[in-house]
Amino acid sequence: MGKFTFEKTPIAGVYVITPTFFGDNRGGFMETYNQEDFQKAGIAVTFVQDNQAFSHKGVLRGMHFQIKHPQAKLVRALKGLVFDAVVDLRSSSETFGQWFGVLLSEENKKQLFVPKGFAHGYLVLSEEAEIAYKCDDFYHPEEEGGLLWNDETVGIQWPDLPAGVSHNLNDRDLHFPTLQDIKKMGSPF
């Protein structure tokens, strides 16, 4: 049995990856990344930075990208449950403007591989969540870009939040351009 299951998605280059978990009465173990296995699956990147984020229910972070230093990412939930979403912004892609989303949790142990050229974000569905992601380029704050999280032309189907819980976004994320604006400016990818 392999250490990972690599599931292709409807968008070329985006994968849902499930590590094999080995558990017994002592606890458990799993590899979350193995360069050789990933390369065999067609994911040939060199990760240079690991990030970790903590958030509460209703927090929506996204939809982010870097303009001149795009990042491929490998995202997973260490704690809690999130809906992770990506939008293809590669101008030459047949799936430009299309989105894909998946539930990531500490229970399902799934990971999402996001290639360069995508807007990325997630919505926290549990009381708290802890997210870890590897990046293949360094963070450049001056290169931040984004896509409006609820752009109707993209139509990401964010899961419903419980009554009394509303989306919690920072001001920057609320004012990102729409896909049509990005098309007019010329997609950076």
pLDDT at 147: 98
Task: Convert the pLDDT of each residue in 132-163 to its tens digit.
Answer: 999 999 999 999 999 999 999 999 999 999 99
Q: What is the CATH number of the domain that holds 77?
A: 2.60.120.10
Q: Which residue range is the domain that position 19 belongs to?
A: 4-185
Confidence band for 47, pLDDT divided at 50, 70 and 90: very high
pLDDT tens profile 53-67: 999 999 999 999 999
> Does residue 121 surpass a pLDDT of 60?
yes
- Asked whether the beta carbons of 176 and 149 are under 8 A apart, the reply is yes
Number of domains in the chain: 1
Long-range interactions of 33-38: CB distance < 8 A, separation 24+: 33/74, 33/134, 34/3, 34/4, 37/2, 37/3, 37/4, 38/4
Catalytically active residues are: 64, 133
Nearby residues of 106 by Cβ (< 8 Å), 6 or more positions away:
77, 78, 79, 80, 81
Query: What amino acid occupies position 152?
Result: E
